[in-house]
Structure 1
Amino acid sequence: MNTTPFPPELTLYYSPKACSLAPHIVLEESGLRYSARSVNIRAGEHRGADYLLLNPSGTVPSLAIGEQILTESQALLTYLADLVPERELLPRPGTLARARAHEWMNFISSSLHPAYRAVFRPQSYGGDSPEAVESVRVRGQERLLHALKTVEQRLSGNIYALGNAFSAVDAYLFVFYLWSFDERLGCEMPERSRYRALAHLVWQRNSVRKVVARERGVRPYELPIEFTGADASTTEVA
């Protein structure tokens, strides 16, 4: 028998401007009570004994649901959306629209995110070989440009990823729009007017601004000037 109370006690373990930003936003959108605890990846806290006891894989995000732990962004987004079906953060299970939502999220996690990782941390794939690291970085740039063009194409005819209403998918896409302004990318971004329009709509949401402010209070990170104006903080990037 499931003895987890409803609503369950929720604690999100996140790192500022990481992919955990998406479930952080969805938690705020959900209206549920939750706690948010930062994990300093740059200081190696995700590899510390305390965090590994919580999540042996050492990945971020993690969601504590009572005494249980859920990991992987897509799983968190789906679980949280289903806790509050009245908020319509994802379409109903069993519908084609629901499958489309997972199609989007699978693409983000399997194509878009790894492409960024290959550019930001090519050594994680290339090891100690400078030639291999550089090859991974260049290939990552190529994959990233292709992935961003795919996002732009899939947004054709829609205001948001799934149509005319905000969903958890848009929160997920918003994270990687922010990443596209990182100077470490070293390549010119493709045309993305639809993606930009979606990101601007997401940025207008009170939940998004509240979460971003909370995360930047933990570790200030750069936001696109188009969101904040010329006085945006630029002390660090994710």
Structure 2
Amino acid sequence: MKILSGRYFLALRPVRVRIAAAAVLAMAGLLAAPVAHAAPATSCNSPHCYSIGTLDRTDFTGIYGHWHSNNMYLGGSEYENGGHINSEMWLVTAEGGASWVEEGLRNGIDPGDPCGCQAYEVFWADQAPGGTFSRHFIDNDTPDGYDNAYEIQRGAAPNQWDVYYDGNQVGVSAVTGSWTGYEQQIGGEVAANDLGAAHADWFQMTADFRDGAGKWYVSRGGASIPSQVVDSGFTGYWVDSDWVWWVGH
């Protein structure tokens, strides 16, 4: 049975409001300003490269994001060689980063996808502290520019995390061995031998988090001071509580 998450209906901002705000910032020349303050590009640990906004705490009990299903793809034979490009969010559930739950969009070949082909899909995944990684298919999607909502929050049972997509529960992670999150990450990931052939349109990703008291906050604002990791070849920066990234422009 699918369970509705009240967070989705309370938090999701109308698409036209966010687009209008971005357009106003762009016309005013303000969107480019944060780039000058971005952290220096890190060395890309090929074949995985990132443009992500991050927030560290010791009391995460949930994270939430919504963003457009935009165009993103790799070149050549990257898909056949295991390459993929993602726009997603992660909740790291161990202080050393050994376990996590993630959810978002992926373009690549996924053996768990019913089509058995290269697909633009919605997925969630988790990694246990011992290193066992599992990916779970949610739905096939198209890069149509529409917004969708993603949410990971503490479940009812100890060390359980519930996964939601557009307000419906789509999965349960019970392998992390933790009931607390230590880092929120949101943005883009590319796994490819040739990053130069990767392309992703402009993603603007809203980020919220839930603290240990069960209260929701924007991930950039007030006392929340996030950071970022932007590998060479990517663009990424914060605009209010939205993480903006792209590659290949």
TM-score normalised per structure 2: 0.27
Structure number with higher helix proportion: 1
* Larger strand proportion of the pair: 2
Relative contact order (alpha carbons < 8 A, sep ≥ 6): 1 or 2 greater?
2
